[in-house]
Amino acid sequence: MSGLESYRSLFDLSGKRAVVIGAGSGIGRAGALGLAAHGADVVCADLSAEAAGDVATHIRESGGRATAESVDVAEVASVSSLFDRVGSHDVLVTTPAINVRKPLLDLTDEEFRRVVSVNLEGAFHVVTRSGRLMAGAGGGSIVVISSIRAQVVEPGQGVYAATKAGVVQMIRALAAELGSRGVRANALAPGVVETPLTAQITSDPGWYEAYAQKGALGRWAQPSEMAGPIVFLASDAASFVTGSLLVVDGGWLAVDGRFTPPL
C-alpha cells in the first residue's frame, strides 16, 4: 500500500461491525448511514423496531450491510439482551436522550428520574456492556453523544445538562480504564441540530432564529453533519484519540451571547 493509500484507508471501516443505538432518527440515523457508507456492517438499534428496520432496509438497498434490533436503554434487561444477541462488535455509537424543559424548581422528582434514567443510566447500561465485549476482544471504539450543554447551560436545561456532563466524565473514566485493553472511548458534543429532540425549539420561529444566530456559522446543523465526526471517532483516523470531547457546534461555545427561552 502506497503512502497516500495508507492515509486514505484510515477512514475505511470494511470488516468492522458497528452497533448504533438510536439509529431510527436524527443523529443516530445519520451515524448509521455514515458508518455503513464507509464499509461497516451496522446493527441499527432503536426503541422503535420499525424505525430501526427502515434505516437498516435503506442501508441494504443502498448497497451496504445492516440489520435491525429493538432496545430500550432505560431497561437494563433490554440492553443486556441486545448485546447478548449482537455479540462481538468493533464500534458502538449511542445517542438516545430525552429532555424536560423546566426550571429546576418546577421539575418533579419523577421528571428528574426519567431524564436521568435515559440519558445517564441508559448510557451506563450501554457502554459497560459494550465495553466488556470490546475489552474481551482486545479493542474497539465507543462513541457517546453528549452535548454542548455539558459545558454551558441555560434556564430549563439543568437536569439535561447535568446528565450530559456526567456522560463526559463517565467516558473519560472508561477511556482510562480500558485504554490498556485497546478500547477507545470518546464523547461527541453537538450544538443545535434539527432532530426530533429539538422540535420544541424549531417550531418556535423566534427561538429557532435566536439559536441559529448564536453560533459563528449563523445556522442550525443537520443530522448528516454529525456523520463525519462519528465516522472519524469510530475509525483508525482517531487511533490516538480517547477520553476526549469532540465539539461540533458551529462555533457556539466560541461566541458570547445569551437567549432566555420561552419556558
- The confidence score (pLDDT) of residue 1 equals 56
Domain presence at residue 214? no
pLDDT at 199: 85
Residue 18 located in a structural domain: yes
How far are the Cα atoms of 52, 69, 86, 232 from residue 26, in angstroms, in the given order?
A: 12, 17, 22, 18
Are residues 186 and 244 in contact, defined by beta-carbon separation less than 8 angstroms? Answer: yes
CA distance 244 to 241: 7
Tens digit of pLDDT at every position of the chain (263 positions): 567 888 989 999 999 999 999 999 999 999 999 999 999 999 999 999 999 999 999 999 999 999 999 999 999 999 999 999 999 999 999 999 999 999 999 999 999 999 999 999 999 999 999 999 999 999 999 999 999 999 999 899 999 999 999 999 999 999 999 999 999 999 999 999 998 888 888 899 999 999 999 999 999 999 999 999 999 999 999 999 999 999 999 999 998 766 677 77
258 occurs within a structural domain: no
**Cβ neighbours, 10 Å, residue 100:** 17
Instruction: Return d(Cα 134, Cα 202) in angstroms, integer.
Output: 38
Residue 257 lies in a domain: no
Residue 215 lies inside a defined structural domain of this protein: no
pTM for the predicted model, two decimal places: 0.94
CATH number at residue 55: 3.40.50.720
Question: How many independent structural domains does the chain possess?
Answer: 1
Q: Does 90 fall in a domain?
A: yes
Question: Residues 6 or more apart from 225 whose CB is under 8 A from it?
Answer: 30, 193, 248
The verdict on residue 97 lying in a domain is: yes
Read off the C-alpha cell for 247: 465539539
- Give dist(CA 66, CA 46) in Å, integer: 13
Cβ atoms 219, 250 nearer than 8 A: yes
Q: For position 262, what pLDDT does the model report?
A: 77
With beta carbons less than 8 A apart as the criterion, state whether 196 and 177 touch: no
| pLDDT the model gives residue 20 | 98
Residue 204: inside a domain: no
Write out the DSSP string of 177-223: HHGGGTEEEEEEEE-SB-SGGGHHHHTSHHHHHHHHHHSTTSSPBPG
**Sequence-ordered list of residues with C-beta below 8 angstroms from that of 10, at least 6 positions apart, any chain:** 235, 236, 237
160 catalytically annotated: yes
Which residue range forms the structural domain that includes residue 96? 3-196+224-246
